[in-house]
Structure 1
């Protein structure tokens, strides 16, 4: 285990850049898993980090120790930082000081979309994206297609909100959604408060593509035109609309209910 104590250390400067810059993470195709839960989930699903970073005060922590041992067994380099340097990297308050640096997956687009999937058009909020990923994974949906305008799926905030869901999904970034949807041969469903058909009336006991959009503007009109069904979620309260992550969860689990 290597100890770094200076802010001027080149590796520490590189880590600081990754921790604070989305552009740097995208360019380097690397990201940070911050906290024991995410690191444990990554190892559980077969991932091997490029680098393990631990805060000095957590070296003997009962949750950290076995993860450090697994990193050592896999040949992963571990560096130890004084708490003040570690805290400058971490966005988690009062967390356990463990962090992995991993390569962000970049899978090739499938030749066809024939299983239930989620298409996201310009979704902006990291918390919403993470929640949608978590709900999709819990509902057994595997494929997530994100437009170039959607927040980076592998940002630390999205990762924390996803709670390990990323490692159960195929996440495709910077997808030309219009081209993708033109070739889809299964139903494409978009939610709309103006639709006549509810999600409880449409047949969801089959693979479908769920289409969700920007929190304020919704799905782009050219993509809405490619939806085979516009569906609504019935509401009783006088509220304008549901949060997009809540809407997605309701849709996914209505599909689960119909398949049971």
Structure 2
């Protein structure tokens, strides 16, 4: 284990840049995972991080000490920081002062969809994106395609909301969803409050792609026109619509229900 005590240390400056800026994370192709749960999930599902960063005070936490020991056994770099320096890196209130520095996964995008997937068209709220990823992974969906206007999936807020779902998904960003839909080998279902076909009237036992749109504007018209089906989730209340993450979860688990029936 190494120790860094200076704010002028180049590695510490790199960490601060990555912690503060999505642009820096995109440019570097690196991401910070903050907290015990995300770090444990990465170890279990992806293996050793590039670097484990821990505050000196957190080393007395048994969970943190165990993660640090596992990283050292996997020959990952481990660096300890004074608590005051670490505080400038974390966005988690009352966290345990543990970070992993990892390479942002960049899977090769398939030419066409052939397994169940989620298409996010301009979903901007990081909490919604993270919740959608978490629900998709829980329902057995493996691929997520995001348009350029969708929140950056590897931002801290999305990572926290997804609770480790990133590590079992293939996530593709800055995708031309129109071209992807045109090449699709599976049905594409667009969610719309104005559709006549109800969700449970569609046969979902095979692979489908779920097209979810912007929180206020919904799915873009050009993409809506490309969809195989436009479907609605009926609801009995007087509210106008469902939150996009809630709607996505209902869709994913209706598909799972049909498959398991």
Map of 1:41 onto structure 2: 41
Report the 3-state secondary structure (helix = DSSP H, G, I; strand = E; otherwise coil) of the residue aligned with 1:69: helix
Contact preservation (8 Å) 2:111, 2:180: no
Provide Cα deviations, 1:10-38, integer angstroms capped at 9, x if missing partner: 11111000000110000000011000000
Q: Paired residue for 1:252? A: 252
Count of paired positions = 260
Aligned partner of residue 212 in structure 2, secondary structure: strand
Which residues in structure 2 correspond to 1:184-195 (within 5 Å)? 184-195=184-195
Secondary structure at the aligned position of 2:87 is classed as: helix
The unaligned stretches of length 5 or more in structure 1 are none
Q: In the alignment, which residue of structure 2 is the partner of 1:68? A: 68
**SS, match of residue 101 in structure 2:** strand
- Provide the TM-score with structure 2 as the length reference: 0.98
CA distance in 2 between partners of 1:185 and 1:18 (Å): 38
Q: Does 1:19 align with 2:19?
A: yes
Which whole-Å CA distance do the structure 2 matches of 1:73 and 1:203 have between them? 49
CA distances 1:216-239 after superposition (whole Å, capped 9, x unpaired): 111111100110111000111110
Q: Tell me what 1:143 maps to.
A: 143
1:172 maps to which residue? 172
- Cα RMSD, aligned residues only: 0.8
- Once the two structures are superposed, residues 66-102 of structure 1 have per-residue CA deviations (whole angstroms, 9 ceiling, x without a partner) of 1111111111111111111111100001111110000
CA shift, 1:6, in A, is 1.6
Q: CA deviation at 1:130?
A: 0.4
* More displaced 10-residue stretch of structure 1: 21-30 or 58-67: 58-67
Q: Secondary structure at the match of 2:62?
A: coil
How far apart, CA to CA, are the structure 1 residues paired with 2:46 and 2:258? 32
- Quote the Cα distance in structure 1 between the aligned partners of 2:252 and 2:67: 33
SS in 1 for 2:88: helix
Q: Is the 8 A contact 2:54 2:99 kept in 1?
A: yes
SS in 2 for 1:59: helix
The DSSP-based 3-state class of the residue aligned with 2:54 is strand
Find the counterpart in structure 1 of residue 229 from structure 2: 229
Give the aligned partner of residue 98 of structure 2: 98
User: Are 2:122 and 2:147, in contact at CA under 8 Å, matched by a contact in 1?
Assistant: yes
- Structure 1 match to 2:124: 124
Taking the aligned partners of 2:123 and 2:130, their CA distance within structure 1 comes to 11
Corresponding position of 2:207: 207
Q: In 1, are the aligned partners of 2:188 and 2:229 still within 8 Å (CA)?
A: yes
- Aligned mates of 1:244, 1:77 — CA distance in 2: 40
Would you identify which runs of 4 or more consecutive aligned residues in structure 1 move more than 2 Å?
Answer: none
C-alpha displacement of 1:110: 1.3
Deviation at 1:205, TM superposition (A): 1.1
Structure 2 alignment gaps of length 5 or more = none
Q: Which sits farther off after the overlay, 244-253 or 107-116? A: 107-116
Structure-1 separation of matches of 2:114 and 2:13: 44
**Aligned with 2:254: secondary structure?**
helix
Match runs of 1:79-94 below 5 Å: 79-94=79-94
Tell me the CA shift for residue 122 of structure 1.
1.1
Give the Cα–Cα distance (whole angstroms) in 1 for the partners of residues 117 and 258 of structure 2. 16
Corresponding residue of 2:10: 10
